Amino acid sequence: MTDTIALSDRGLTLTLGETPHYFNYFWLRDACTSCIDPQTRERIFDCSALPNPPRATAAWIEGDHLRLSWQDEAVVSSVPLSLLHEISATGRPHDPADLPRRLWMADFEPQIARIPQADVLHSDAGRAQFCRALIEDGIAIVTGMEPGKESLTALVETLGSISPSAEGYFFEVRVEIAPTNLAFTAGPLEMHTDLPSEEAAPGLQFLHCLENTVEGGMSLFLDGAAVAEALRAEDPDAFALLAAHDIPFFYRHDHLDYRAHQRVIETDPQGRVTGVTISQHLQDTLDLPQELLDTYYPAFVKFIRLMQQDRFRVRFRSQAGNCVVFDNHRIVHGREGYVAESGKRHLRGCYCDRGGLRSTYRVLAKQGYDGLAAPARATA
């Protein structure tokens, strides 16, 4: 229930329920519903065009809006009370895609969302379920992929566009004669996130298994955010070091020399873990101050050893016709070695950014698809 409004020089105090909340006049003027063009849905009000800082002469509640009149403008602004409640509760407008991460451990494998490609492509409920799993769990398996290159493109395009990398739009994970990457051998592949050497490391990774008849080569995944939280609980100082400093990564060949700095543990402004960056085979010579390395290296080693514990690691065999999709900033992946002569193993991969994932989920959520209900069987 809304009670009192008290005007002051630069803003007003509005009591929402029992609690008074302060709102700045610039912010209120900018939040007026008339500032957004209904056709383009873009902002058409420029607060820098005001001759003086805005100052309310009166403010009152009308229905479910706060109304304000202004000292230097012949307009009456209208701000939804729902927005004021959201700001007073969390400091930001409601975002349906801001779902809490559900951290997972080694026993998570049976719970990984498995969604048929036809559902993702042709059912809003299926697509919402796919998006929600990627936001909450960071991983989902799309089953029953149509064969062929276009199949992977069609899947990615339910979320956005394919993001190119140094290897182009797609990469092929199979044994190559002159490999440019450890992934393109039959050897084991240590746990890592992809392409930290690029300015913007890829957001989502897609690995479409086209063929897998070899002995060995089990796929390995872990939730980097769960490992980071375990480090925070065990050694908060080590966590703080890895979350505070960027370290260098490279990707270097005859015709390439990519270099970028990344943070091993990524956090948001609220201090929540949003992801990790790990790639020891692409890690460059550390360039932090030598004295800082006295504490940084032991913290880093502790994190790597924690990550190697079996309690975090999910292990399964990639099945032909499945596509594993995961958040490359959170889910750390690797592969056990395999016997190259025992059969064929071929995965086709690509990336897209996570902005498209969240955008897709917000649009679906607005239409009533929150991703919790399983889809009715889609007809392709």
Chain contacts with Fe ion (rule: CB under 5 A): 194
Q: Give least dist CB 273 to Fe ion, A.
A: 21
Output DSSP code: residue 166.
T
Minimal CB distance residue for Fe ion: 194
Listed as own residue / partner, the contacts of 30-38 with beta carbons closer than 8 Å and 24 or more positions apart are 31/79, 31/83, 32/68, 32/75, 32/77, 32/78, 32/79, 33/65, 33/78, 33/79, 33/80, 34/75, 34/77, 34/78
Q: Give least dist CB 113 to Fe ion, A.
A: 21
Q: Give least dist CB 161 to Fe ion, A.
A: 21
Closest to Fe ion by CB, 202 or 371: 202
Closest to Fe ion by CB, 194 or 327: 194
For residues 180, 181, 187, 188, the Cα torsion angle rounded to the nearest 10 degrees is 170
Closest to Fe ion by CB, 194 or 266: 194
Closest to Fe ion by CB, 69 or 163: 163
Which of 300, 113, 345, 109 lies closest to 221 in space, CA to CA? 109
Closest to Fe ion by CB, 194 or 198: 194
Sequence-separated (6 or more) residues with CB below 8 Å from residue 112: 133, 137, 139, 140, 141, 314
Q: Give least dist CB 206 to Fe ion, A.
A: 12
Question: What's the token pair of residue 179?
Answer: 């490999």
Q: Give least dist CB 361 to Fe ion, A.
A: 25
Contact 345, 338 (CB under 8 A): yes
Q: Give least dist CB 149 to Fe ion, A.
A: 19
Closest to Fe ion by CB, 194 or 223: 194
